[in-house]
Amino acid sequence: MKRIAVMTSGGDAPGMNAAIRAVVRTAISKNIEVFGIRQAYSGLLAGDFERLTNREVSGILQRGGTILQTARNDEFKTPQGQRRGLRRLNEQGIEGLVVIGGDGSLRGALTLHKLGFPVVGIPGSIDNDIWGTNMSIGVDTALNTILDALDRLRDTASSHERAFLIEVMGRNCGYLALMGGILGGSEVMMLPEKDMELEEVAAALEDAYLRGKNHAIAVIAEGSKHKIYDVQKYLESHNVGFEVRVTILGHIQRGGSPTAFDRLLATRMGVRAVELLTEGVCGVMVGLDGREMSGVPLEDVTSKVRSVNPEYFHMAEVLSR
């Protein structure tokens, strides 16, 4: 294998640059040329390839976002688009591809694998909804961003004796809300996997008020059944004791300098992805299995749903009282 390409796709995640850097430097150490594909599958279809050397990936380890940018592209979801993408790779003399992204991006990678093209995926998404890996790149950084926000909001909530409703990202996965709630010490967590009815939320916050707490925090996953403003409306019409305020964290959860954990995870995954390609192990995603890096079939990754560890549900129940 003498020439490979790398792309970042889907929602960006802190640590993607560390993974790009590891892919490039590992490949060059094996005398393999590396091309970056700008803007994910859109760039692939446009034939937007840019040679990457050690210089281009210098000084990016600590940077959030992705120097290759990312995009969402519907054409690549079609067989015609996939064939055009394959044609672009062959025109450029690319012999292997590393796709860094979420479950959708990895579905795209699987289509190239099924067309016979050597591809290895790296899980990059703050949602932590990708099956086959304990953690995806960006999750730890996003979780620390959430905890920083919760700690700040707790300060003002305590000053004013308020209840704060805080919406976090995660698409249809409640991992960030659950872990943010547990580690941020919230009284309530609302998750797609384990939703609470509005009456239960009101009862929990009123209980906190009656027990003399000077504030209360409810973390609400964006994919929850009840949306944050409906929860606010219900609470205000049922007088739980606290005044209620709402904060939607939004895209600050996607930015920031990657934590040490994410830098190490991304680096290890980038190195392993190139090793797998050169070993001829393709059609897999690099997954964190305990402390080890494994190669997990993309077929499995894209057909199974990563569930939240039930041990955490129990922990949340006990610790949120």
Binding to ligand F6P, residues 229-258 (CB under 6 A): 254
* Token pair belonging to 17: 């640059």
Is the CB of 108 or the CB of 184 nearer to ligand ADP?
108
Is the CB of 33 or the CB of 222 nearer to ligand F6P?
222
**Cα–Cα distance for residue pair 217/242, rounded to 1 Å:** 11
* Token pair belonging to 21: 């850097």
Chain-centre distance for alpha carbon 266: 12
Q: What angle do CA 19, 25, 27 make, to 5 degrees?
A: 100
- Residue length of the chain: 321
**Cα–Cα distance for residue pair 138/134, rounded to 1 Å:** 12
Task: Tell which one of 8, 26, 125, 136 touches ligand ADP (CB under 6 A).
Answer: 125
* Token pair belonging to 99: 């796709």
Contacts of 208 (CB under 8 A, 6+ apart): 163, 187, 216, 242
**Cα–Cα distance for residue pair 89/97, rounded to 1 Å:** 9
Q: Which does residue 111 touch among ligand F6P, ligand ADP, none (CB within 5 to 8 A, set by kind)?
A: ligand ADP
Question: Binding to ligand ADP by residue 117, rule CB under 6 A?
Answer: no
Question: Binding to ligand F6P by residue 170, rule CB under 6 A?
Answer: yes
Q: How far is the CB of 13 from ligand ADP (least distance, A)?
A: 8
Task: Tell which one of 125, 144, 224, 259 touches ligand F6P (CB under 6 A).
Answer: 125
* Token pair belonging to 289: 């299995």
Q: How far is the CB of 190 from ligand F6P (least distance, A)?
A: 15
Is the CB of 10 or the CB of 184 nearer to ligand F6P?
10
Q: How far is the CB of 315 from ligand F6P (least distance, A)?
A: 23
φ, ψ dihedrals at 194, nearest 5°: -150, 80
Is the CB of 121 or the CB of 181 nearer to ligand ADP?
121
127 noted as active-site residue: yes
**Cα–Cα distance for residue pair 17/35, rounded to 1 Å:** 14
Element containing residue 292 per DSSP (H, E): strand 292-297
Task: Tell which one of 111, 133, 144, 320 touches ligand ADP (CB under 6 A).
Answer: 111
Q: Which does residue 213 touch among ligand F6P, ligand ADP, none (CB within 5 to 8 A, set by kind)?
A: none
Q: Which does residue 170 touch among ligand F6P, ligand ADP, none (CB within 5 to 8 A, set by kind)?
A: ligand F6P
13: amino acid identity, one letter: A
292 CB neighbour count, 10 Å cutoff: 9
Question: Binding to ligand F6P by residue 21, rule CB under 6 A?
Answer: no
Question: Binding to ligand ADP by residue 227, rule CB under 6 A?
Answer: no
> Interface residues with ligand ADP (CB under 6 A)?
9-11, 41, 72-73, 76-77, 101-105, 107-108, 111, 125
> Interface residues with ligand F6P (CB under 6 A)?
11, 102, 125-127, 169-171, 222, 254
